[in-house]
Structure 1
Amino acid sequence: MDHKLSFTEQPSSAVDVRILKSRAALRDALIALAGEKPFVDLTVAEIARRASVGYATFFRHFPSKEALLADIAEALIRDMLGLMGPLMQQTETRAASLELARFVDARRPICHALLVGAGDTLRREITVRAIQLAAENRVEIADGLPTELLSVHSVGATLNIIAWWLERGGEIGPEAMAAILDWLVFKPLSARPEQ
């Protein structure tokens, strides 16, 4: 069985309002449930019940709970890039790192589900999609390096570091995590290579 997920397109204005409400309820239900138990233990029936939609309705919107999680990931990635992009453009790497750490900390359960609990396949797909979106919203911060390489490195390193952080619970706060991200990822990207 092919489990390849596709990230959803933005809905057109002609989409029925009921569809938008059902999809939003399913997203909200999964986000809430991710704070209560590991993603791997969640069932489609639980998600549908929490969303107050029928079991069959779930499958009209998403082929699997992983596809729903991928849909949530798309929105989170776009939100993160929207927060960090302007700061990275101004090479405010510490501020960008702090925004990112606070963003993840405020959404810790769903970020944990995405980067730790959903498994390697979905994590790879999320990483690929995040790299694509970062490349589309590219920020010119390092001269002389291929943009694609910068996206692959910065997104891959950032997501791996965040996953490491999420696996450790609350032992490292967002401010300390921001310093780590800035030191290992963002500050080196803003440095100009020696000629």
Structure 2
Amino acid sequence: MPDTTTDHGAKRVDPRVLRTRALLRSAALELAAERELSGITVAHVAERATVNRATVYQHYSDRDALLLDAMEDELTALVAVLARCPLVDGPVRTPPAFADVFRHVESQLVLYRRMLGPCGSARFLNRLQQLVAEEVARQLTASPAGPRNGAGTALRAHCAAGAFIGVLRHWLLAPEPVEAAAMAEGAWHALSSTD
């Protein structure tokens, strides 16, 4: 039997498992780009990935777990863009980095609409909320004006993350398209307004 541990004792994942998961994630994203999430089944993903359904279930408990894993790299990229934006004590004018956040989402518009739309994924929404709140909390902790206790930081971070996601969903689901830079301008004003 091949050794699956490294010199440091950490378990190494079989390259075949990594290839299969990559194939499944790719198939799930292709399907999500083509149709609403409610129209995607494990059988569809298995067929697109040219594996059987049992193989999908060996790697993921259900379709939503697979979709969330498939979007994890995209979420990481979004939060990396968001990290460059001053979310705490930001300037009055819209920072260019905030417009970059909307441009990033716009580059994957269909996937974000599907994941955050009425037939979207609650797990994706929860993961996005968690990641955005973590970034806001990181910025709050680094800010001299940030809350001085953990509960206050967490509460403020989740409020800001919820507001950001609400604005994002409003933009994605609007009947009339709005260009990313214009939306960023309006969103920045709405999120930072004190009137």
TM range (shorter): 0.7 to 0.9
How far 1:136 sits from its partner (Å)? 6.5
- Counterpart CA distance in 2 for 1:173 and 1:149 is 31
RMSD over aligned Cα, in angstroms?
2.9
1:36 counterpart residue number: 34
Aligned 8 A contact 2:33 2:111 in 1:
yes
TM-score by length of 2: 0.76
Shift in CA distance, 124/106, structure 1 to aligned 2, threshold 3 Å: closer
Shift in CA distance, 166/87, structure 1 to aligned 2, threshold 3 Å: closer
SS in 1 for 2:13: coil
**Relative contact order, CA 8 A, sep 6+: which one is greater?**
1
Shift in CA distance, 172/18, structure 1 to aligned 2, threshold 3 Å: same
For 1:64-103, list aligned pairs within 5 A.
64-88=62-86, 91=90, 94-103=95-104
The count of residues paired between Structure 1 and Structure 2 equals 177
Query: Per-residue displacement from partner, 1:82-130 (whole Å, max 9, x unpaired)?
Result: 1221332895752232111111111112212221154574355335433
Residue from 154, 157, 162 that aligns with 1:148: 154
TM-score by length of 1: 0.76
- Counterpart CA distance in 2 for 1:102 and 1:13 is 38
SS in 1 for 2:85: helix
- Counterpart CA distance in 1 for 2:138 and 2:47 is 37
Shift in CA distance, 113/76, structure 1 to aligned 2, threshold 3 Å: same
Question: Tell me, which stretches of 5 or more residues in structure 1 are unaligned?
Answer: 1-11
Aligned 8 A contact 2:102 2:183 in 1:
yes
Shift in CA distance, 170/44, structure 1 to aligned 2, threshold 3 Å: farther
- Counterpart CA distance in 2 for 1:72 and 1:154 is 26
